[in-house]
Structure 1
Amino acid sequence: MRLAIAALMVGLALPGLTVAEEIGAVDTVFKWLGPNHRIVVEAFDDPMVDGVTCYLSRAKTGGIKGGLGLAEDRAEASIACRQVGPIRIKGKLKDGDVVFKERTSLVFKTMQVVRFFDESRNALVYLVYSDRVIEGSPQNAVTAIPILPWPVTQ
């Protein structure tokens, strides 16, 4: 019962960030019971910057535990963010702002994407990494977008 209450509290504590849209997936391991292990590709838009979409690929654990949401997903991920329209910053950007966060285990592990603004190079930098309450993972991936004028079509 305590574990269920702790899980609920952690779930409620996660900020209401952007929800990712699944673009596609491939199976990596066949499982007799439950869903297969797979790699998913998801897309999400930066909530503070119009004109930026990030694509995230990551492993999702299948099997019975994975199907019930009890398995822990691997820490590896890849990210590619792109300018998809005119870039418009909606407010003051703080370095290290979390733009996407999703739990990757029942309670203690999350995968998150944070944004940095490299003002001297006029670029947005996005970092994906996994953290855990006790011990995080050094595995990470980074992508950068130069802020360029968007061509006007007529």
Structure 2
Amino acid sequence: MKAHRLWLASAALLLGCGYAAANSETIGSVDTVFKFIGPDHKIVVDAYDDPKVSGVTCYVSRAKTGGIKGGLGLAEDRSEASISCQATGPIGFAAPIKQQEEVFTERTSLLFKRLRVVRMVDTTRNTLVYMTYSDRVIEGSPQNSVAAVPVPRSTPIPVK
């Protein structure tokens, strides 16, 4: 009974800390450091479709720590990431979007570190701006990357 409660408490803690990964598709990866035991260190490229803007995909490249800790999911990945967002089809909005909101998040350590992508709207230029950064419970990183997707003037961005 105690083990069951401990498992439930652990699961609640992990879910509360955002353990679940963002909805992404891995496009590919390259090895950067060979490891004798466990997976190699690598750079991974993932694709994220914006859940509220059809026709926009963001590609995020980030470091993925290998070795024994990386293989067990216990390693903390580096904070550096790069983003490129593109119109991959006709851009559309099912509903008005916020001026600024987080659209993707993925954990980069077991509990405390996350990679985040925030969408901002530049209404003057009718452009969607995406920024990626990493944060921690105590201290984040100032390292970031920005990408912009211009929306045709014939499709004004509906902002809440």
- 5+ residue gaps in structure 1? none
Q: Give, in angstroms, the shift of residue 9 of structure 1.
A: 1.9
Task: State the structure with more CA Rg.
Answer: 2
Aligned-residue Cα RMSD (Å) equals 2.4
- 5+ residue gaps in structure 2? 155-160
Alignment partner for residue 118 of structure 2, among 114, 133, 145?
114
1:31 aligns with: 35
Provide the C-alpha distance between the structure 2 equivalents of 1:17 and 1:71, rounded to a whole number of angstroms: 16
Provide the C-alpha distance between the structure 1 equivalents of 2:45 and 2:80, rounded to a whole number of angstroms: 13
Provide the C-alpha distance between the structure 2 equivalents of 1:103 and 1:42, rounded to a whole number of angstroms: 14
1:21 aligns with 2:37: no
Alignment partner for residue 134 of structure 2, among 130, 133, 137?
130
Distance 1:141 1:35, change over 3 A: same
Provide the C-alpha distance between the structure 2 equivalents of 1:64 and 1:143, rounded to a whole number of angstroms: 34
Task: Map 1:42-61; keep pairs closer than 5 Å.
Answer: 42-61=46-65
1:97 aligns with: 101
TM-score (normalised: structure 2):
0.85
Aligned residue type for 2:144 = N
Alignment partner for residue 86 of structure 2, among 71, 82, 89?
82
Distance 1:97 1:135, change over 3 A: same
Structure 2 counterpart SS, 1:121: coil
CA displacement, residues 72-125 of structure 1 (integer Å, 9 cap, x when unaligned): 000000000000111111222113311111000111000010100111110000
Provide the C-alpha distance between the structure 2 equivalents of 1:57 and 1:75, rounded to a whole number of angstroms: 11
Q: Give, in angstroms, the shift of residue 10 of structure 1.
A: 3.7
1:148 aligns with: 152
Confirm or deny: 8 A CA contact 1:114 1:128 kept in the other structure: yes
Structure 2 counterpart SS, 1:26: strand
Confirm or deny: 8 A CA contact 2:46 2:59 kept in the other structure: yes
Identical residues among aligned pairs (%): 58
